Amino acid sequence: MTFEPFYLPAASGQRFCLFYQPDVRSERRGAVVYVHPFAEEMNKSRRMAALQARVMAAAGFAVIQIDLDGCGDSSGDFGDASWESWIDDVVLACAWLKERSDGDFWLWGLRTGCLLAGEAAGRISHPSNLLMWQPVVSGKQFLQQFLRLKIAGEMLGGDSKGSMDRLRGQLARGESLEIAGYMLSAALADGLEKAELSPGALTRRIDWIELSGKPDGGLSPLASTRIEQWKSAGHDTRGKAVFGPAFWQTTEIAECRALLDASVRAMTDAAPG
């Protein structure tokens, strides 16, 4: 396995990417585009994403990890990014990787990255599979939770005027909000709020994997319901719960080896041949 850092030219600036390639002697199984989660969740999950990319490459998958507009080491500021610019970046990464890889094509998302992966899957012209880690189902609900961080911070600072209506009013007027060290623009908030988890029309296979705090834990009721809905709609959808920490929100950087193994098993089971 080898990996190569590079900058991918985009409509506005450049996007930092890491490209993992399988060993030349190994069987080529397919290609994977990783879509990272929102704000600080991205930083908390970098190690797990890197570990999984290496495991995927060792199993024969070419993997590209892209830092979206204004995130990580890409150009631009987080406060200037929009939901549409992030979808465009995912589609850009898909096009780049598709030109260089054969076999099954996967979009692998974590948390809000699943929302972006689902939307991107509907905009690319070729079939794809979705690997979803702890997917966020509703962008509106996620935004609500993110705004609560702002309210909590203001209350701890002695400001008793914090309210959801006030924050939403500022966003509606086109103002940006500083939340937990990130500048949230009205454009990004609007796109996130409208996002709903959905596979693209050409999506072939969906693997939904959740983390459980109990060794014998199962899928959440929400996951089970959504999986059944997609099955009824004709999508090959499978769900699994694995025991491990919610690494995207732990205080210290955490790992979950069971998730790495479960993901590659799901992908290799889906691969032809």
What pLDDT was estimated at residue 87? 98
What pLDDT was estimated at residue 160? 53
What pLDDT was estimated at residue 152? 86
Query: For residues 247 and 235, what is the distance between their CA atoms, to the nearest angstrom?
Result: 29
Q: What is the mean pLDDT of each run of 10 residues along the chain (273 residues)?
A: 93 96 84 98 97 96 98 97 98 97 94 98 95 98 95 70 85 95 96 95 95 94 96 94 96 96 92 49
What pLDDT was estimated at residue 174? 96
Which position has the token pair 């974590």?
A: 110
pTM over 0.85: yes
* Strand pairing category for 203-212 and 128-133: parallel
* Strand pairing category for 177-179 and 182-184: antiparallel
What pLDDT was estimated at residue 201? 86
Considering the chain, tell me which residue range(s) the CATH 3.40.50.1820 domain(s) occupy: 2-138+195-270
Residue 110's DSSP bridge partners are 133
What pLDDT was estimated at residue 158? 58
Q: Nearest-5° angle of CA 218, CA 48, CA 139?
A: 65
Answer for the pair 112, 81: CB distance below 8 angstroms, yes or no: no
What pLDDT was estimated at residue 163? 86
Query: For residues 206 and 191, what is the distance between their CA atoms, to the nearest angstrom?
Result: 23
For 70-81, the three-class secondary structure string (H helix, E strand, C coil) is: CCCCCCCCHHHC
What pLDDT was estimated at residue 161? 61
Query: For residues 14 and 181, what is the distance between their CA atoms, to the nearest angstrom?
Result: 23
What pLDDT was estimated at residue 13? 95
Domain 2-138+195-270 has CATH 3.40.50.1820: yes
Residue 61's DSSP bridge partners are 30
Torsion angle (degrees, nearest 10) of CA 64, 68, 73, 75: 130
What pLDDT was estimated at residue 273? 41
- Asked whether the CA dihedral 111, 119, 84, 172 is positive or negative, the reply is negative
